[in-house]
Structure 1
Amino acid sequence: MPSLRHVRVLTTTVDELAPRTAYDVWRLRQQVFVVEQDCPYPDLDGRDLEEGTRHVVLLDDDTVLGTLRVLDDGDAARIGRVVVAPAGRGRGLAALLMDEAMALCGGREVRLDAQSGLAGFYAAYGFEVTGPAFDEDGIRHVPMVRAAVRP
């Protein structure tokens, strides 16, 4: 696996994603969320196509190492579908994704549903648990919010 200095961060809309990159993004999400985590669910929910959605993709050459999406929920931003390829885990790639996502969100309120074991990771970005744990597709999650940052 290449060093982090070779990783490129791409932030784009779905219409600007190259077709092969888009395919690799959806394949990675399927590989991890559906196959690895054994959670059959409708990943292609239409939100990827929304005008306000931004995709953050980590690339090494043309290889997708990780991705997430930032959604516009009107009164807040929402981060979701955070995933790093198995071969890239433990190398700080999730932090690269989140750094870019937080920059995109600016001072807005930001919401996400974290897998319970990752709540501490998101807490480092200012997120706080805002409700009880819940089951989503057989995995425990907690709702989390980073309050709007006032200038």
Structure 2
Amino acid sequence: MLEIKVKTFQELTTQELYDLLQLRSEVFVVEQDCVYQDIDGKDQNALHVIGFKNNKVVAYTRVFKPGDYFTYASIGRVVVDAKERAHKYGYDIMKASIEAVKSHYNETQIKISAQTYLKRFYNTLEFHEVGEEYLEDGIPHIGMVYKG
């Protein structure tokens, strides 16, 4: 069972920050073999949606209010520990992130920059493609919007 907490940057414990950065690095840098600047100065403005299993960070997203990243509210850095993906925690963390946008920002429109191979996953969460595919850090991405 996934326990999900939503926190501002200031509310994160040092251990939580370390753990979520470690998970992001494990997946986005090591697993996906992508050299990019993950620590980008945007975490301080984000809401952090963290999925814990047995007190270990296994799923995560960061959420921005409209205007911080895109015109719409946005969800990014969507990540699930490779050993935990069989449990479908990606759905749980995304549903919690959509709810966080609604409850914290009173917004129903959300834009994401999705890795193209995950289009179907996001389609099941009612996100729809907008625009053309593009490369971000050498990985094919597509803009997707949720209208709530």
Match of 1:57 in 2: 50
Match of 1:120 in 2: 120
What are the residue-to-residue correspondences of 1:5-84 with 2, within 5 Å? Answer: 7-50=2-45, 53-74=46-67, 75-84=71-80
Structure 2: where are the runs of 5+ without partners? none
CA contact (8 A) 2:65 2:101 kept: no
Higher strand share: 2
CA distance in 1, matches of 2:53, 2:124: 26
CA contact (8 A) 1:21 1:62 kept: no
State the TM-score, normalizing by the size of structure 2. 0.90
Q: Which amino acid aligns with 2:24?
A: R
Q: Which amino acid aligns with 1:121?
A: F
Question: Which stretch shifts more, 133-142 or 68-77?
Answer: 68-77
CA contact (8 A) 2:129 2:145 kept: yes
CA contact (8 A) 2:112 2:144 kept: yes
CA contact (8 A) 2:27 2:79 kept: yes
CA contact (8 A) 1:54 1:69 kept: yes
Moved over 3 A (4+): none
Structure 1: where are the runs of 5+ without partners? none
Deviation (angstroms), 1:138: 1.8
CA distance in 1, matches of 2:65, 2:24: 20
CA distance in 1, matches of 2:77, 2:133: 18
Give the alignment partner of residue 87 of structure 2, picking from 77, 85, 91: 91
CA distance in 2, matches of 1:42, 1:73: 23
| Percentage identity across paired residues of the two chains | 35
State the TM-score, normalizing by the size of structure 1. 0.88
Q: Which amino acid aligns with 1:69?
A: R
- RMSD value, Cα: 1.2
